[in-house]
Structure 1
Amino acid sequence: MASCFRTTASPQASTLNMVTPSLRAEDCSIALLPRNHDKNRFRDVLPADRCLPFLIAMDGDSSNYINATLLDSYSQPSAFIATQHPLPTTVKDFWRLVFDYHCTAIVMLNQLDHTQFCPQYWPEEGVLRHGPIQVEFAGCFIKGDVTNRTFRVCNVTRPQDGYRTVQHFQYSGWAPRKDVPPSDVSFLQLVAAVDKWQEEYSGDGRVLIHCLNGSARTGVFCAVTNTCEMIRRQSIVDVFYSVKTLRNNKPNMVDTLSQYQFCYDIALEYVDSA
């Protein structure tokens, strides 16, 4: 389960590969339990036990595992949750994760593809129930490559908890089977929209990010977000540090040399636009 860039790497990228810790089977013992096998989309992209978010047990469902990893932002511990696009059988777990871990933003970086068992897990109108979690559609608008949906999420078995407002950012600018998006500006607009929502409306809520496997594209988003925050706070550009920090907990984050280079391109675009 070790990760390395799949192309001839630059010296810095090669160093990054060398300092990225590999995950052994014993590091992922919970994900590898027989009862959890069908909850993993890919057998070579598994969360480490030490970074797992655990779902709260509910009546009739004692399972607390989901293929997801808690990750630090530049300034806050466990500010991100990286996960795979939910399988048809794990949509209920996905929304439990959103509610249990107070996620106020969901960032979607892949396309809906039923051939890949990627269901639409949200309502376009009205209300959907996923076990005890109720998801109510509250609005939608589209700006460029980003579709913003607003949901009201609650646990009907715990009405005293109230509802949570969750913003869903679906990014359509990243085509299937492409290492990187075609536009630096478009991706930076996505990062800025999520940052604005988190800063102005969500308080200390977490950001849940997913792509097909919860690593490559998700890693790019997290690395870019952390690098931009680093620039704002300290006027430093250190993509190596951003990616290395993520890979300490999830080795598959930022999976190719072109994705690593894209993180630098975005950082330069961000500096130029400041």
Structure 2
Amino acid sequence: MNKTAVITGATSGFGLAAARRFAAAGWNLVLTGRREERLAQIKDELAQTSVLTLVLDVCDTEAVQAAFSGLAAPFNQVDVLINNAGLALGTEPAQACDLAQWHTMIDTNIKGLTTVTHALLPKLIETGRGASIINIGSIAANWPYPGGNVYCGTKAFVEQFSLSLRCDLAGTGVRVSCLAPGLSESEFTLVRTGGDQEAYDNLYKGAHAIQPDDIADTLLWLARLPAHLNINTLEIMPVSQSWSPFAVKRDQ
């Protein structure tokens, strides 16, 4: 029987690339997203495997619980949950930020991820040995930067939540990993900048950034690891990206 992966935020970026990669490897897929038309297109594209699409806002607790409690065969045995849905909004310093954007990031990156995880934990535990939760974190969890403020905080939560889940799931056979990409080229940056194509182009020009397919390959590798192995946290940067010296603001 084919294994089943649940992928949130599957209509673009890492999520879409992962859906394509797992489909090519013969997995059944449960794909969530807020854009019904895109989900329909993806289902048509991935006709070589069994695909269930769910138009779903991960911030809607009741909708999430209803969607995942009603999974039928062949999707009811969940082998892998990829918590990919998330976003960043704005690049301003904290004192100039829109509070509503902060709340949206918290609701999506923290509340949404935990709600989906809570809804699927019983199914993952039932699957047992070899089942995996893979949370998409970010290097922003450990390497703060100006304008990162709440986004960095939400990704720090994702990393600590992942580690704590491992403690609670000890003995169940369920693995938990946090995959933390660095500079990545995707729709993510257009969302963050409110559709600013110039900012997008400038950010990635000559950077040879991580591509969604790179992350999709890594996700499949994590899912296919022998059942006795767990990658706790995996941080990935493009070769072009590294660290800068500490900033020092001096009196003039």
| Greater share of helix | 2
TM-score normalised by L of structure 2: 0.33
TM-score normalised by L of structure 1: 0.31
